Structure 1
Amino acid sequence: MDPLEDVLTLLETRGHLSVGLVAGGRWAVRFEAPEGVKFNAVRRGSCLLEVDGLDKPIALGEGDCYLLARQRPFTLRSDPQAEPVPAGPLFARAEQGLARAGEGDDVLLRGGRFSFGARAQELLLDHLPPVVHIPAGTRHAETVRWALAAIDEELTRHEMGSTLVAEHLAVVMLVHVLRLHLAREPHTATGWLAGLTDPAVATALAALHRTPAHPWTVADLARTAAVSRSTLAARFKSTVGQGPLEYLTHWRIELAARRLRATPDTLATIAHAVGYGSESAFSVAFKRVTGTPPGDYRRQQIPTLSNAAIAVPGL
């Protein structure tokens, strides 16, 4: 798998669709800070998005979509002068999967959110800007439009399994949105996401993720990326924020931590699976990265409900 696929899989990414919004005339709806990553798409019409902490609103047109990668209150509105109403009561009155604001049906928005397992904030969300906006006219945005149209069709036809299919399509949309964001605004990404925008670094990252247990050296990675050792080391450090082998250590520990949370495998088995020759070497590395020995880490983990279990009103 590639790094993006690896991280989204590790985080147990799930899409959750919400009640849609139909609006017309002068209207505004105020939303509390969402759990997880919020997404909305304008299927018809246009509106303004205001997110707390951002200097100015974002104009959304038909076909546009956005991700809200921070837990901040936000407002959707027809114009700056419209007086907002709270989303909770409005969406509590929704009928046939749609809430209504204002007068008429000039605007249609479909939305939902993405929930993740442990470590999402540090591994993914902290590397994104607060809002990822994908305009409809963007090159290659056809892939996002396709996913949105397919989601709409599933929700409209109500065939067997339609909700499950639509939620899986939402994850497909997330992958495309992240790809497009990296292509359009690479300077806004940080960490491993930023590394995906540099061809040599991306090649090295893919190699590390493909076989994390391999005894990689910087020279090996440089040959894989077809650049010199010094070039790869410098470019990896400047984009990702750490050296290749430091990154490899942290990724191995992430993989090991997931196995400690989710499986009964022995420490020796996990150590070998992620590239350590002995349980003791693995334990030293795990404690250095996490601050906790692996045995203690496993004992501290208790089954918890992920963000997926938390209800969010509307959109």
Structure 2
Amino acid sequence: MDPLEDVLSLLDTRSHLSSSLVAGGRWAVHFEAPDGVKFNAVRRGSCRLDVEGAGEPVQLAEGDCYLLTQARAFTLSSDAEAVPVDAGQVFAAAENGVARTGEGEDVLLVGGRFSFGDRAHALLLDTLPPVIHIPAGSEEAGTLQWALGQIDQELRQRPMASTLVAQHLAVVMLVHVLRLYFARAPQALSGWPAGLADPVVATALTSMHTAPGHPWTVAELARTGAVSRSTLAARFKDTVGQGPLDYLTHWRIELASKRLRGGTDTLATIARAVGYGSESALSSAFRRVTGISPRAYRNEHRSARLSGQ
């Protein structure tokens, strides 16, 4: 598996589709800060997106889509002077999966949100800007348009299992948006996504993600990228922000944490699976990274599940 696939799988990525929004005339809808990552795509017409604390508004044209990666209130509107109405009221009155505002049908938006596990911010969202805008006119937008068209068709025609299909298509769309953003703005990335823009570092990252339990050394990782040990160490630290083996330790702890949160494997089994020769070696590394022992971490999350948190 590659790093992006690994991270999205580790975060239990799920999509939740909402009613479509049809609007016309002069209109504005204000949304409270979303729970998770919000997305919308403009299937017809154009509108304006204002995100709280994110700078200048974004003008959205037909075929554009965007992700809101942080919990910030936002407004969709026809223009800056339109008086916003509350999104809760608009969507509460939705019929047949379509919410309406204003007068007419000039604009159609399809959207929803993505939810993740509790490590989403540390592993992914904190490395992204608050708004990712993918214009329809960009060369890379064709695949997104296909996915959006399929989502729209599933939701309008409602064949068997349409909701499930549309939800999976939305996750496909998320992967493509992230791919495009990583390729388009490598200078704006930080952490492991920044490493994907450097072919030498990306090779080392992929090697570690493919075999996290392997006893990697910096020299061996350097050989995978056909560079010297010192070159890899310097480039990895400059782009990712930590050395290769520090990164590997943190990734192994993420893998162990997921198994501790959701499984019943013994600590010894988990230790072997993520590259530690013994339970004590895992415990030492786990405590160093997280500040608590694996047993305490498992008990903490078990208690949270039982209490419904």
1:43-98 superposed Cα distances (whole Å, 9 cap, x missing partner): 11111100000221001111110000000000001111111111111111111111
Map of 1:166 onto structure 2? 166
Map 1:233-248 onto structure 2 (within 5 A).
233-248=233-248
SS in 2 for 1:12: coil
Runs of 4 or more, structure 1, over 4 Å off, are: none
Map of 1:312 onto structure 2? none
Question: Structure 2: 5+ residue runs without aligned partners?
Answer: none
- d(CA) in 2 for partners of 1:233 and 1:81? 53
Map of 1:7 onto structure 2? 7
SS in 2 for 1:289: helix
> 1:198 deviation in Å?
1.1
The one-letter amino acid of 2:173's match is M
The one-letter amino acid of 2:98's match is L
- d(CA) in 1 for partners of 2:188 and 2:85? 32
Map 1:26-45 onto structure 2 (within 5 A).
26-45=26-45
Map of 1:112 onto structure 2? 112
Map of 2:71 onto structure 1? 71
The one-letter amino acid of 2:257's match is A
- d(CA) in 1 for partners of 2:133 and 2:46? 14
- d(CA) in 2 for partners of 1:55 and 1:298? 41
Residue 199 and residue 19 in structure 1: after superposition, are their counterparts in 2 closer, same or farther (change >3 A)? Answer: same
> 1:238 deviation in Å?
1.1
Map of 2:185 onto structure 1? 185
SS in 1 for 2:302: coil
Map 1:72-221 onto structure 2 (within 5 A).
72-221=72-221
> 1:255 deviation in Å?
0.3
> 1:303 deviation in Å?
7.0
The one-letter amino acid of 1:155's match is L
1:194-242 superposed Cα distances (whole Å, 9 cap, x missing partner): 1111111111100000000000011111110122211111111111111
Map of 1:17 onto structure 2? 17
Q: Using CA pairs below 8 Å that are at least 6 residues apart, which structure has the higher relative contact order?
A: 1
> 1:191 deviation in Å?
0.5
- d(CA) in 1 for partners of 2:176 and 2:53? 26
Residue 303 and residue 197 in structure 1: after superposition, are their counterparts in 2 closer, same or farther (change >3 A)? Answer: farther
Structure 1 vs Structure 2 CA RMSD:
1.4
Aligned length: 307
Residue 37 and residue 304 in structure 1: after superposition, are their counterparts in 2 closer, same or farther (change >3 A)? Answer: farther
> 1:302 deviation in Å?
2.8
> 1:39 deviation in Å?
0.4
Map of 2:56 onto structure 1? 56
- d(CA) in 1 for partners of 2:215 and 2:55? 47
Question: Structure 1: 5+ residue runs without aligned partners?
Answer: 310-315
SS in 2 for 1:100: strand
> 1:304 deviation in Å?
5.9
The one-letter amino acid of 1:197's match is A
SS in 2 for 1:227: coil
Q: Is the 8 A contact 2:42 2:62 kept in 1?
A: yes
Q: Is the 8 A contact 2:24 2:101 kept in 1?
A: yes
What is the TM-score with the length of structure 1 in the denominator? 0.95
SS in 1 for 2:140: coil
Q: Percent identity?
A: 69
Asked if 1:302 is matched to 2:302, the reply is: yes
The one-letter amino acid of 1:71's match is A
Map of 1:228 onto structure 2? 228
Map of 2:273 onto structure 1? 273
